């Protein structure tokens, strides 16, 4: 099937590819022949270009100070341009490059959820990093857990969740809130109003009220909520909608 691209989208892709060619001439001239990119693109060169594009730069190409990162959508546009280049040349993207372009998120899949006890529609959840705000970066939090947990002993092989995980988290949350009850009161928040569902509800509320953000249905599906007897039969989660929710949830 012939893919059609809008004139604006094609123009953006072509500008990105111009930057790619200029970067390859400087850093990987062996990937160019007569001013054109050798396809399929070398994964190492592609990874270097994406790393280069992740950082905001001035007119000279030097990084701005202090260092600032571009948005996820901007970096994804670079990935789309690279795929567009292969498509226009009728060249298949290599498996290694395809994995590189797709592997920008931590993918988690649950065996079952409260609304899907048999795991029939348990699609993967995409979790993205937030290098611009480390305090809320889930990937960094997981890394801290891995490197501070120590050696596992006994029969347990679980990294994050063990027995009574919900109760343990609830107890920790209550204890933490009690320690900061005065500060919470200054914001008009009572300790008793904060529970284990507060995190999910807050994220869902923020995403649902973000202009241009993900559709409410995608937010509900990500949270594992039922859509009703009729909608639940016809509306299912997909990777595109979940990735948009995951990027929004990452901040």
Residues 245/105, Cβ–Cβ less than 8 Å: no
Does 211 lie in the same domain as 141?
A: yes
Quick one: 129 and 242 in the same domain? yes
Same domain, 45 and 93: yes
CB 219 within 8 A of CB 204: yes
Q: Are residues 133 and 46 in the same domain?
A: no
Q: With respect to residue 1, please indicate whether it lies within any of the assigned structural domains.
A: no
Q: Average pLDDT, whole number, for the chain? A: 81
Instruction: Give the confidence band of 1 by pLDDT, cuts at 50, 70, 90.
Output: very low
Q: Is the pLDDT of residue 34 over 90?
A: yes
The DSSP line for 145-186 is: HHHHH----SS---SS--TTHHHHHHHHHHHHHHHTHHHHHH
pLDDT at 237 over 70: no
Q: What percent of the chain has pLDDT over 90?
A: 20
Q: Is residue 2 part of a domain?
A: no
Kindly report the pTM of this predicted structure. Answer: 0.58
pLDDT digits (tens, 9 = 90+) for 133-182: 888 888 898 888 888 876 666 666 565 666 677 788 888 888 999 999 99
Question: Both 207 and 124 in a single domain?
Answer: yes
Indicate the residue among 81, 102, 123 that finishes a domain.
102
Same domain, 64 and 135: no
Give the per-residue pLDDT at 236.
63
pLDDT at 2 over 50: no
User: From CA 69, how far away is CA 187, in angstroms rounded?
Assistant: 31
Question: What would the mean pLDDT of 20-28 be, rounded to a whole number?
Answer: 95
| Cis preceding linkage at 174, omega within 30 | no
User: Which residue do the tokens 């094609």 mark?
Assistant: 10
pLDDT, residue 231, reads 60
The domain total for the chain is: 2
> pLDDT tens for residues 127-146?
888 877 888 888 898 888 88
Per-residue confidence band for 244, with pLDDT thresholds at 50, 70 and 90: confident
In 83-99, which positions are buried (b, 16+ CB within 10 angstroms) versus exposed (e)? ebbbeeeeeebbeebee
Residues 87 and 128 in one domain: no
pLDDT-derived band at 3 (thresholds 50, 70, 90) equals very low
For residue 84, the enclosing domain spans 7-102
Q: List, for residues 64-109, the tens digit of each pLDDT value.
A: 888 787 876 788 788 889 988 999 999 998 888 888 877 778 888 8
How far is residue 139 from each of residues 29, 193, 239, measured CA to CA in Å?
Answer: 34, 28, 19
CB 196 within 8 A of CB 169: yes
> Is 33 strand, coil or helix?
strand
- Residue 157 Rama label (left phi>0; alpha psi -120 to 50; beta): alpha
Instruction: Give the CATH number for residue 73.
Output: 1.10.150
Considering the domain architecture, whether residues 113 and 96 belong to the same structural domain is answered as no
Residue 91 lies in a domain: yes
**CA torsion, ordered 97, 103, 104, 110, to nearest 10 deg:** 170
């Amino acid at each position: 099937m012939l893919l059609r691209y809008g004139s604006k989208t094609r123009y953006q892709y072509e500008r990105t590819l111009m930057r790619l060619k200029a970067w390859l001439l400087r850093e990987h001239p062996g990937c160019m022949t007569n001013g054109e990119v050798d396809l399929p693109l070398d994964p190492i060169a592609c990874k270097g270009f994406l790393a280069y594009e992740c950082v905001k730069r001035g007119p000279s190409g030097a990084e701005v100070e202090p260092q600032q990162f571009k948005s996820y959508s901007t970096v994804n546009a670079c990935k789309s341009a690279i795929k567009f280049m292969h498509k226009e040349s009728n060249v298949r993207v290599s498996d290694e490059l395809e994995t590189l372009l797709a592997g920008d998120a931590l993918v988690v899949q649950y065996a079952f959820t409260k609304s899907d006890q048999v795991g029939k529609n348990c699609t993967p959840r995409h979790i993205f990093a937030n290098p611009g705000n480390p305090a809320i970066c889930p990937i960094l939090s997981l890394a801290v857990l891995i490197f501070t947990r120590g050696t596992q002993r006994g029969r347990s092989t679980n990294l994050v969740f063990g027995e009574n995980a919900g109760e343990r988290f609830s107890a920790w949350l209550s204890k933490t809130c009690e320690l900061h009850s005065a500060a919470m009161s200054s914001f008009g928040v009572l300790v008793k109003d904060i529970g284990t569902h507060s995190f999910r509800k807050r994220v869902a509320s923020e995403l649902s009220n973000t202009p241009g953000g993900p559709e409410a249905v995608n937010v509900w599906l990500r949270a594992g909520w039922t859509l009703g007897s009729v909608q639940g039969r016809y509306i299912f989660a997909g990777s595109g909608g979940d990735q948009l929710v995951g990027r929004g949830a990452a901040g």
